[in-house]
Amino acid sequence: MQSQIHLKLIEVNQRLKSAKTKVTIRESNGSLQLRATLPIKPGDRDVNTTKRKQYNISLNIPANFEGLKTAEEEAYELGKLIARQNFEWNDKYLGNDSLKKDFSTIGELLERFEKEYFKTHQRTTKSEHTFFYYFSRTKRFTNSTDLATAESLINSIEQINQQWAKYNAARAISAFCSTFKIAIDLSKYSKMPESNSRKIPTDREIYAGIAKFEYYQNYRGKQVNQNVQDSWQLWRWTYGMLAVFGLRPRELFINPDIDWWLSSENVDLTWKVHKNCKTGERQALPLYKQWIEDFDLRNPRYLEMLATTINKKDQTKHAEITALTQRISWWFRKVELDFKPYDLRHAWAIRAHVLGIPIKAAADNLGHSVQVHTQTYQRWFSLDMRKLAINQALSKRDEVEVMRDENGKLKGENERLKLEVEKLKMEILYKHC
């Protein structure tokens, strides 16, 4: 049926073109629209200073055979107005009055989003985290003054250039529409984009990265507010903790058990992740304990800075915690690290894999299931393992070459010593003769 309607739409547009109506018909989300170049709509900006702009006019005509007949009639009528230069933006073409009776703005629905969402979802730490994901992305990628229609929401998605951002926005808007029973088809955006290349730092690069914070402090200039001149130390500590434990950034800021971390009873040097975090409470073990000492991660001064920072924030609000996690990313860029905070978590997972730690143990330590662990990190494992295998092979080859060279030298030295011995024997023999 859809293909037949599509063919019929092509025929109608060909007739409109032959009649030189300067109007075409397009289908969008189950409705038909008229497309034409018209005088600038009241309240719209004349960006190109031509006093005209191409618009899609929705007349609430369904995309079926009967609707096509109606749309064709409307197209001819609009074409006549354009040809006679009698077109005016009225209620019929603006559609504001009729739409406002049936639709709220996106901003109005966002104000009710949390209350409506949790009518059908149990409120837990994980569901609150999920809701904030939906809410923040819907708010970020839409215009709050637009009417909450399928057309305007799809248009918002279409304005996004980056594929991952478009995919994430569609996921959030889908949940938004489901909550308010807005009929919308987002199947076009449901396919996950191919993974971007990710910079997974090596152990050596992670170790070198810690020094970049102090380097920044030494060369940043002198016009720094006295109140924040030492704040880099907190973010260097954060960097070190993410590297050592493979934590999610939030897990450092949500009710951290600072007393336990500094306690002499903490012989295994574990970091306690609070129950209010995404996947509940756990004790995370370090992979390299030596880094804790090398990075000075149990220095009480840094923990005091952490306590002061989180006490200024409302830890019950995801937005406040998100602001802190975004601050970490800002510092990574500030000190010119070429990887991101979450890459340290990926690096931990790969390091554990390379060291032969069982997947279940690694997954538990990172706070997710074995399935998530393998699905999320497997694509990085394969590349990293290939690199490791090649590097180890090259390293072994180099070792073999060195051993061969040394063996050759030893053989040469042995031959030289043999000659020396024979020479001495001959000299002794001649003396006795």
Residue 57, Cα to own-chain centre: how many angstroms?
35
> Is the CB of residue 67 less than 8 Å from the CB of residue 28?
no
Q: Which residue has the tokens 């295998």?
A: 389
User: What DSSP character marks residue 229?
Assistant: T
| Non-local CB neighbours of 239 within 8 Å, separated by 6+ positions | 209, 210, 213, 328, 331, 332, 341, 344
> Is the CB of residue 259 less than 8 Å from the CB of residue 107?
no
> 345, 346, 353, 373: which one is catalytic?
345
> Is the CB of residue 254 less than 8 Å from the CB of residue 315?
yes
> 134, 239, 302, 377: which one is catalytic?
377
**Separation of alpha carbons 240 and 206, rounded Å:** 9
User: What DSSP character marks residue 41?
Assistant: P
> 129, 278, 313, 387: which one is catalytic?
278
Catalytic residue status for 377: yes
Catalytic residue status for 345: yes
Three-state secondary-structure class, residue 54: strand
The secondary structure of 293-349 as a DSSP string is HHTTTT-HHHHHHHHHHHHTS-TT-HHHHHHHHHHHHHHHHHTT-SS-HHHHHHHHH
Q: Which residue has the tokens 């993410």?
A: 242
**Separation of alpha carbons 302 and 282, rounded Å:** 22
> Is the CB of residue 262 less than 8 Å from the CB of residue 303?
yes
**Separation of alpha carbons 181 and 80, rounded Å:** 38
Residue 264, Cα to own-chain centre: how many angstroms?
38
> 35, 166, 171, 248: which one is catalytic?
248
**Of 210, 212, 344, residue with least CA distance to 287:** 344
> 22, 53, 139, 368: which one is catalytic?
368
User: What DSSP character marks residue 2?
Assistant: H
Cα dist from 1 to 11, 34, 94, whole Å:
15, 21, 31
Using only C-alpha atoms, the chain has a radius of gyration, in whole angstroms, of: 34
**Separation of alpha carbons 303 and 309, rounded Å:** 10
Catalytic residues: 248, 278, 345, 368, 377
